[in-house]
């Protein structure tokens, strides 16, 4: 089996999740078996995976695995149907707050039952003792059963947590204690596995390593690690042989512009230092695959496989002429995060605006919450300073960017580093001209300077603005580059990318545990 390893499948996805889903579609088309191997518990996991087109047959979550809830039919659970173990209760539905207050006969609060407003499906229950102290919170899986119980301490902190089977038997327990810094943290895990054996782990990482070994009980599987820090150590400590793949979704170097001598990207440092213990490394670009083997010669197998795939129906659809797009429309699709460096793009647009007043910039992506959304606030301050309130618009996160790609003329990219940039490829495949910094890795390979866009010196805002302005000033050049953008997307066709995956899968068939037979 081919396993794709990740924390989860959130509703708001990063580039890594989008890359996994594109890989999934490719494996589906060619009937190659695969399964998402996900670590973290979430009540909405199966809702999110279903919305992403992932069926339960292609999904194993660590908690589901031991709770024996990998395959459970959807059921409706209403607040009035929850058994609280008490009699003579009064129910008061606070619809505007998405909850039901449950009181004892004498008026004392017994419980709060929280639900999804649209469906009234139960989300959680908060239970109170006879003197109205909160002592337990139970979370219900979106499929309609109690899954997780949190027991509260007298000082209103989460003490222990229990994950349950469908019949209410706890099989996973986590213990939370105060650390030396005074903060509550998980200090241990106890597992009762599917054979009734009990195991104790100090960390969730050790727990996850045990889980991967359970999944790999018969050996000879292919594990593709998409989140490096999740299982980089676990994959080199498997009990049975397997083909282990470290997928680099970003630059291996801390400074992407110095790939051969800068400090390593700390997300990949452990894997790179132990590179000889993996069966293979995968990079999304040819340039990075070459750089990785040059810098780390003990990594013997380095594949370049684009994470972006342009479906055949996209390649074959009717093309939109540049004159039929919104003149001056520039878009960027990225998290509003420091590494995306969108402040530079805003400043470039300010320069363009002086010559082309029609220019507008739409920023698609969810804001990074770090330091109270500091990066978005920084960009908002720049917009205000440059009087661009009517020019630059935050569009938020959206799954469907079809309309944005079909109406924009230019895709702008000013990242500090990239691993590929799926959004740039999607834009190119819709005829949007790319204007990007010369940044490793991906943008300077997807965009061919002077052909389907421009690659400008890294950090040179003025040069970026000049190239954008030159396109608005030359409609023929804009159209030619748009046509070339459509053509260049063929490099990332399903057939071409699948051929690269075949090379890796064929190598996996020849090897066992990373050692050639």
Q: Which residues of 390-419 are buried (b: 16+ CB within 10 A; e: fewer)?
A: ebbeeeeeeeebeebbebbbbbbbbbbbbb
Q: What is the mean pLDDT of residues 127-144?
A: 96
- Residue 185 reports pLDDT greater than 90: no
| Interaxial angle between packed helices 15-29 and 422-429, expressed in degrees from 0 to 180 and rounded to the nearest 10 | 60
What span, in angstroms and rounded, lies between the C-alpha atoms of 425 and 485?
9
What span, in angstroms and rounded, lies between the C-alpha atoms of 180 and 187?
12
Residue from 5, 16, 6, 7 nearest 335 by CA: 16
| Predicted confidence band of residue 512 (pLDDT cuts 50, 70, 90) | low
Residue from 55, 12, 14 nearest 36 by CA: 55
| Predicted confidence band of residue 12 (pLDDT cuts 50, 70, 90) | confident
Residues 6+ apart with CB under 8 A from 98: 114, 115, 116, 117, 123
What's the pLDDT tens digit per position in 386-431?
A: 999 999 999 999 889 999 999 999 999 999 999 899 999 999 999 9
- Burial class of residue 374, CB neighbours in 10 A (0-12, 13-18, 19+): middle
**418 Ramachandran zone, left/alpha/beta (phi>0; psi -120 to 50):** beta
- Residue 14 reports pLDDT greater than 90: no
Reduce the DSSP state of residue 110 to 3 states and report it.
Answer: strand
Q: What is the mean pLDDT of residues 50-63?
A: 97
Q: What is the mean pLDDT of residues 155-182?
A: 92
What's the pLDDT tens digit per position in 317-365?
A: 999 999 999 999 999 999 999 999 999 999 999 999 999 999 999 999 9
Question: What is the separation of C-alpha 300 from the centre of its chain, rounded to a whole number of angstroms?
Answer: 28
The one-character DSSP state at 163 is: E
pLDDT of residue 517: 43
Tell me the percentage of the chain whose pLDDT exceeds 90.
92
What's the pLDDT tens digit per position in 216-253?
A: 999 889 999 999 999 999 999 999 999 999 999 999 99
Q: What is the mean pLDDT of residues 178-183?
A: 79
pLDDT of residue 515: 52
pLDDT of residue 514: 53
| Mean per-residue pLDDT of the chain | 95
- Residue 177 reports pLDDT greater than 50: yes
Q: What is the token pair recorded at 103?
A: 């009181």
Residue 26 contacts residue 3 (beta carbons within 8 Å): no
Residue bearing tokens 């003792």: 129
**Domains of the chain (ranges, CATH numbers):** 2-71+205-304 (3.40.50.2000), 79-203 (3.90.930), 312-490 (3.40.50.2000)
Residue 95 Cα distances to 172, 289, 412, angstroms: 34, 55, 44
Residue from 278, 292, 350 nearest 514 by CA: 278
Residue from 274, 279, 295, 283 nearest 232 by CA: 274
């Amino acid at each position: 089996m081919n396993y794709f390893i990740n924390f989860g499948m959130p509703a708001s996805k990063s580039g890594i999740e989008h890359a996994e889903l594109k890989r999934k579609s490719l494996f589906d088309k060619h009937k190659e078996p695969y399964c998402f191997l996900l670590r973290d518990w979430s009540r909405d996991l199966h809702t999110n995976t279903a919305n992403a087109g992932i069926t339960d047959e292609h999904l194993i979550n660590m908690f589901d695995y031991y709770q024996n809830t990998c395959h459970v039919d959807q059921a409706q659970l209403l607040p009035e149907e929850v058994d609280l173990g008490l009699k003579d209760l009064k129910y008061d539905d606070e619809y505007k707050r998405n909850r039901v207050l449950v009181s004892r006969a004498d008026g004392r609060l017994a419980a709060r039952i929280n639900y999804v407003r649209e469906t009234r499906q139960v989300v959680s229950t908060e239970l109170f003792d006879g003197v109205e102290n909160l002592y337990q919170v139970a979370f219900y899986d979106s499929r309609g059963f109690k899954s997780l119980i949190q027991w509260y301490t007298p000082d209103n902190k989460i003490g222990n947590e229990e994950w349950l089977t469908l019949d209410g038997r706890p099989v996973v327990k986590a213990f939370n204690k105060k650390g030396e810094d005074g903060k509550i943290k998980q200090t241990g895990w106890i597992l009762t596995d599917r054979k009734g054996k009990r195991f104790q782990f100090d960390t969730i990482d050790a727990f996850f390593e045990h889980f991967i070994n359970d999944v790999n009980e018969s050996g000879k599987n292919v594990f593709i690690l998409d989140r490096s820090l999740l299982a980089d150590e676990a994959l080199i400590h498997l009990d049975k042989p397997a083909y282990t793949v470290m997928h680099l979704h970003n630059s291996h170097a801390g400074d992407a512009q110095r790939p051969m001598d800068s400090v390593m990207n700390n997300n990949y440092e452990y894997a790179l230092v132990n590179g000889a213990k993996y069966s293979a490394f995968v990079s999304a670009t040819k340039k990075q695959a070459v750089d990785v083997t040059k810098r780390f010669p003990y990594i013997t197998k380095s594949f370049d496989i684009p994470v972006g795939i342009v479906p055949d129906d996209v390649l074959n659809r009717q093309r939109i002429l540049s004159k039929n797009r919104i003149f001056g429309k520039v878009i960027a699709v990225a998290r509003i995060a420091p590494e995306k460096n969108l402040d530079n793009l805003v400043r470039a647009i300010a320069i363009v605006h002086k010559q082309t007043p029609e220019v507008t910039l739409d920023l698609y992506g969810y804001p990074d919450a770090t330091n109270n959304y500091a990066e978005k606030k920084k960009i908002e301050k720049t917009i205000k300073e440059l009087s661009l309130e009517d020019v630059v618009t935050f569009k938020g996160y959206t799954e469907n960017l079809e309309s944005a790609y079909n109406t924009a003329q230019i895709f702008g990219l000013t990242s500090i580093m990239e691993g590929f940039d799926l959004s740039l490829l999607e834009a190119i495949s819709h005829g949007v001209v790319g204007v990007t910094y010369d940044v490793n890795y991906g943008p300077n390979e997807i965009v061919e300077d002077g052909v389907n866009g421009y690659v400008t010196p890294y950090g040179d805002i003025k040069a970026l603005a000049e190239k954008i302005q030159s396109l608005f000033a030359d409609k023929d050049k804009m159209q030619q580059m748009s046509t070339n953008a459509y053509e260049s997307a063929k490099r990332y066709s399903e057939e071409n990318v699948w051929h690269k995956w075949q090379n890796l899968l064929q190598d996996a068939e020849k090897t066992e545990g990373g050692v050639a037979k």
